[in-house]
Amino acid sequence: MIELNVKKLLLMPSGVFRRFLVSYVLILLIPLCTGLISYLTSVNIIKANAFEASDMMLNQSKDVLEHRMKEVEAFARQVALNQNLNYLLSETSPDPAQQNIYGMWKAWRDLAPYSLTNNFMLDFYIYLNDSKIIVSADGAYVRPDDYYELHRLDGWTFERWRDTYLQKAQNRTVLPSHAYSRAGRDMHVITYLQSLTLESAASTKGTLVVHIDENQINSLLRSITDQYGGWAYIVDRDGRSITSLGLDAAQSERPKYASGQYIERDHLIIAALSDYNGWTYVVGLPQHIVMKKAIYIEKITLLLVVPTLLFGLLIALLFAYRNSAPIIALFSSIREHIGQGAYYGKNEYDSLQGNIFSLISQTKAMQDELQQHLPLLREASLKRLVRGEFASVQEASAAMTQTGVELQGEFGYVCIVRIQGYERVDSAETMKELHGARLLIRRMLLQLGRNETVVTDLDSDKLAVLLTYPQEPDERTAGRVESLFDSLARTLKAEFRICAAVSIGGMFRRLADISRSYDEARETLDCAVFAEGGSTRWFRQMIPNANTYYYPIDLELRLMNAVKAGEESEVERLLEQMFTQNFGERSLSAEMAQQLVYELQGTLFKLLEQPVQRSGPEAEQLKAKIESVHHTAHMEQRKERLQQLFLELCHQVIRRKTDGEEELQHNIMEFLHSHYDDADLNLSRIADRLGVPEKTVSQVFKEQTGENLSDYLESIRMKTAGDLLLGSELTIDEIAAKVGYNSAHAFRRAFKRVSGVSPSMYRSSLG
């Protein structure tokens, strides 16, 4: 409930608040006046129809109960026709060791859903005469006395229960209300008995026992007795009491009446006889209450008009405040952020419209400015891509999509074009020349390479060219690439007197390998600059330097980032790339190979120095394993040990991440279950309370549960609302507020969308 300062509201100068208040007061007065006139007109009719209404309600209750009893009999017929149960009925062995366990399970599987689909039946069970088995909705019992221990009739011995319920032929027998204990829970039940099979009740193979909660029947009569007071009961054709309200429950027989109305000892007796089962429904209403009810209600209504009007005014104040406060707060916030430039109209709505229009215009201007800077963002993203500065492939793909970089596929080459003759850039004129040359080369490359070519500047005299293809390029494609750059170099030299050297890295087969191809192109560039007989050189044409190992600093950084991110496949790929370069394409000496092992051990020690890995027994064990790598005899074994250690660190990161996500999911669910009644609950408030970003909250909850956070919150609210609809007398508006909805209309719409029926229909159909 929102706390309301009435004095503050009354002194509130806002025109928005006053307009809301006047509107609500008018809405309040119109139905009050109309309702008062309607009541005064109808009160006399209510007095005259009191008897007729009670009789109609009694007959309605009778019809409903007959329908529910027909459902029970229909259920008995379905049970009798169940093939799996009939097979069990034919079993004759009482020995528990020889029982048909699978048959009992199949019969239980067929019968269990009935307990979920019919709330009129409290529980039911079937006794099989020959095999001495009881099959119920919660399982099968090979010993009837075990079942009776959990489902006991108060005051009855096991033998009496067995002789009366199980071993006696029954045909649509209904036993009166009796105290009943079910798994320690005390209640009163009415029992329906039917022998199986239906064709011969004299020689039964089994007995169906259905317990009906007495409250289910009494709820039909309670609507009459609660209205006028008095009592009610139902007797069978033999005069035995089935159930009663407001009378001594110990009396087993009660007077029978023919259908009609009687007056006895200042009570109005209304009786209705059932043609279906011969039951008689009797209600006794105090005459003085029935006759004076309308006059009493009239007086109470007049006394309540003034308090109701005052309460309505208070509610109008509350609603006016609640609906005007956000508008005033929004206007104040806009005025605070805009400052002196805020627009002030003739009223708050006009001011909001003007300021929101201004904000939209500013947003559009910012979008236009962002569009102007998009080429710079595109160039920056391409530079990061070729240099391997993205933390993951997903981040690189997202950046390419956002900046509009279109790659034709995940295969291709990275090439570097260097403009020669500008070793020293010491003047503005030289910078202009280089800028013009880069623009010229970029345009020519885009014309010659078409869609497969992406170009970005690396330096004042260098450009990086990214050639991508949807499939792995073959020798013919490599020939076209070389022809492209040879043609570019000849055209530049012949028409513009510009000398350009081109180096082409090795082929990459995924986006993560682009940086490796770029490193190879850089390594090849010096050879291309000083090459004779052509200015284009491939990395594969270089003779590997066997005197040094391949482990550049950027490769180490990418490897460490992959381990810290828990990307196991990326770690394996980078290690495979590094081992291939050093032991597949180079012939390292034993000393160089050992030096490379030391470098990799150093990388592992750097990872252990991270805060999440720094302490604990696992860290000490890993240190010992890292130090023992050089004790391994063969290089292949050292490589395997190093790879295992990198992956072990990666697994630790994944474990910590998973544990953290499970804990976060638990905290989110706990927070939702304790704050679902907050109408202002949203993702931002949840994130602030838990101290994590909104994106993390939403993403982790979706990954851990497979369900959107908003859907889960709605399911909590709808389940709670369903329980309140059935288990309380709260109004729909009160239930809507209790489960976190600002308006009953929004609650009704959400409830109908989830359950398929409106809240009122749900309550009336299942109540």
Q: Stretch 282-303: mean pLDDT, rounded? A: 73
Under 8 Å between Cβ of 705 and 665:
yes
Q: What are phi and psi of 433, to 5 degrees?
A: -60, -45
Closest CA to 99 of 134, 138, 125, 126: 134
Q: Stretch 636-641: mean pLDDT, rounded? A: 82
Q: What are phi and psi of 480, to 5 degrees?
A: -65, -35
Helix, strand, or coil (residue 652): helix
Tell me the CA distances in angstroms from 102 to 109, 169, 243, one per residue in order: 10, 28, 40
So what's the pLDDT on residue 464?
Answer: 92
Q: Which residues contact 511 (CB under 8 A, 6 or more apart)?
A: 385, 393, 396, 397, 407, 410
Q: What is the torsional sign of CA 147, 151, 156, 162? A: negative
Q: What integer best gives the mean pLDDT of the chain? A: 79
So what's the pLDDT on residue 533?
Answer: 45
Under 8 Å between Cβ of 363 and 30:
no
Under 8 Å between Cβ of 138 and 150:
no
Say if residue 3's pLDDT is above 50.
no
Tell me the CA distances in angstroms from 696 to 660, 664, 683, one per residue in order: 11, 9, 10
Query: What is the rounded distance in angstroms from the CA atom of residue 370 to the CA atom of residue 203?
Result: 89
Q: pLDDT tens across 513-570, in order?
A: 888 888 888 888 877 666 554 568 888 776 555 567 778 887 788 888 888 877 888 8
Query: What is the rounded distance in angstroms from the CA atom of residue 173 to the CA atom of residue 96?
Result: 30
So what's the pLDDT on residue 413?
Answer: 92
Fill in the DSSP letter of residue 512: G
Type of residue at 161:
W
**Residue 352 tokens, joined:** 């909001």
Helix, strand, or coil (residue 464): strand
Closest CA to 527 of 545, 508, 550, 509: 545
Query: What is the rounded distance in angstroms from the CA atom of residue 683 to the CA atom of residue 28?
Result: 36
pTM of the model: 0.39
Chain center to CA of 528: 58
Report the percent of the chain where pLDDT is more than 70. 83
So what's the pLDDT on residue 7?
Answer: 43
Least confident span in 153-162, 409-418, 699-708: 699-708
* Beta strands, E only, 169-240: 173-182, 185-196, 206-213, 231-235
Closest CA to 166 of 199, 138, 139, 131: 131
CB neighbour burial string for 529-560, b if at least 16 within 10 angstroms, e if fewer: bebeeebbbbbeebeeeeeebbbbeebbebbb
Closest CA to 190 of 101, 121, 248: 121
Fill in the DSSP letter of residue 735: H
So what's the pLDDT on residue 275?
Answer: 85
So what's the pLDDT on residue 377?
Answer: 85
So what's the pLDDT on residue 8?
Answer: 42
Closest CA to 445 of 429, 457, 428, 460: 457
Q: Stretch 642-660: mean pLDDT, rounded? A: 80
Kindly report the length of the chain. 767
Q: Stretch 192-213: mean pLDDT, rounded? A: 78
Helix, strand, or coil (residue 651): helix
Type of residue at 701:
F
Query: What is the rounded distance in angstroms from the CA atom of residue 695 to the CA atom of residue 680?
Result: 19
Fill in the DSSP letter of residue 72: H
Query: What is the rounded distance in angstroms from the CA atom of residue 261 to the CA atom of residue 58?
Result: 12
Under 8 Å between Cβ of 649 and 563:
yes
Q: Which residues contact 415 (CB under 8 A, 6 or more apart)?
A: 464, 465, 466, 467, 481, 485, 502, 503, 504, 505, 521
Residue at token pair 């007086």: 299
CA triple 368-373-376, angle to 5 deg: 160
CB-hemisphere CA count at 13 Å for 574?
A: 27
Closest CA to 89 of 199, 191, 210: 199
Report the percent of the chain where pLDDT is more than 90. 2
Fill in the DSSP letter of residue 540: G
Closest CA to 646 of 556, 747, 524, 706: 556
CB neighbour burial string for 355-369, b if at least 16 within 10 angstroms, e if fewer: beeeeeeeeeeeeee
* Beta strands, E only, 265-357: 267-273, 280-286
Q: pLDDT tens across 442-492, in order?
A: 888 888 766 678 899 888 888 999 999 989 888 888 888 888 888 888 888
Tell me the CA distances in angstroms from 755 to 271, 706, 731, 736, 747, one per residue in order: 39, 21, 18, 15, 12
Q: Which residues contact 401 (CB under 8 A, 6 or more apart)?
A: none
pLDDT band at 98 (very low <50, low <70, confident <90, very high): low
So what's the pLDDT on residue 4?
Answer: 40
Q: pLDDT tens across 412-437, in order?
A: 999 999 888 776 666 788 888 888 88
Q: Which residues contact 657 (CB under 8 A, 6 or more apart)?
A: 566
Q: pLDDT tens across 317-366, in order?
A: 887 777 777 776 666 666 655 655 565 655 666 666 666 777 777 778 77
DSSP 548-575: S----HHHHHHHHHHHHHT-HHHHHHHH
So what's the pLDDT on residue 297?
Answer: 67
So what's the pLDDT on residue 412?
Answer: 92
So what's the pLDDT on residue 9?
Answer: 44
Residue at token pair 């059932």: 274
Q: What is the torsional sign of CA 553, 544, 586, 572? A: positive
Under 8 Å between Cβ of 69 and 277:
yes
Query: What is the rounded distance in angstroms from the CA atom of residue 345 to the CA atom of residue 327?
Result: 14
Selected residue with higher pLDDT from 203 and 339: 203
Query: What is the rounded distance in angstroms from the CA atom of residue 179 to the CA atom of residue 240?
Result: 16
CA triple 717-213-197, angle to 5 deg: 115
